[in-house]
Amino acid sequence: MSRTNPSPPSCKGRLQRLKAFCKRHLTRSAVEMAQLADVNREIEVSDRMRRERRSENERLTSIIRAIDELMFSLEELNLQGIDRVPVRLRERAGSLIELVLARPAPAEVRSDPFRIRYRVVPMMDVLFEVQHKVLRLRNPAVIADPEDVQETAWA
């Protein structure tokens, strides 16, 4: 039996098929590379946003701690029967209020609920409000206080 080898394809035909294969392969790779670049950008954006949220959460937590420390000092004064807030505590309160409100703490505007107070209990009330504002900033989906809900229901 004689074996006949089919004639090998021409060089030109193989070269054309190779070029077509490479063209498809390179085109697909470019598309895949673009998709990878898009995914990488999304990961970078997501990571940056996570770091920013974490940093903001840490900043707000440190403000809450500072308010707690100041409230503790004011409570000590209240238990000792001291009615006036010392200058250093008023200054600390003013700094915290400015930090939270991103504006100077009001000292003279009587209608502003965040103004600096000279009596211990009213200053504590202001700091409770400031702390509540910080907590809402840290967690915007704060559940309403049941007492507040009852008060609005009776009104």
pLDDT of residue 52: 92
Residue with tokens 């392969």: 25
Q: Is residue 50 part of a domain?
A: yes
What does DSSP assign to residue 62? H
Residue 30, domain extent = 12-141
Q: pTM (2 decimals)?
A: 0.62
What's the pLDDT at 155? 47
CB within 8 Å of 120: residues ≥ 6 apart: 74, 77, 78, 82, 83, 84, 85
| Residue 53: inside a domain | yes
Q: What total of structural domains would you count in the chain?
A: 1
pLDDT at res. 49: 93
107, part of any domain = yes
The whole-number mean pLDDT for each consecutive block of 10 residues of the chain, a chain of 155 residues, reads 56 78 70 83 91 90 94 94 92 89 63 77 91 86 61 50
Q: Please tell me the predicted confidence (pLDDT) of residue 4.
A: 55
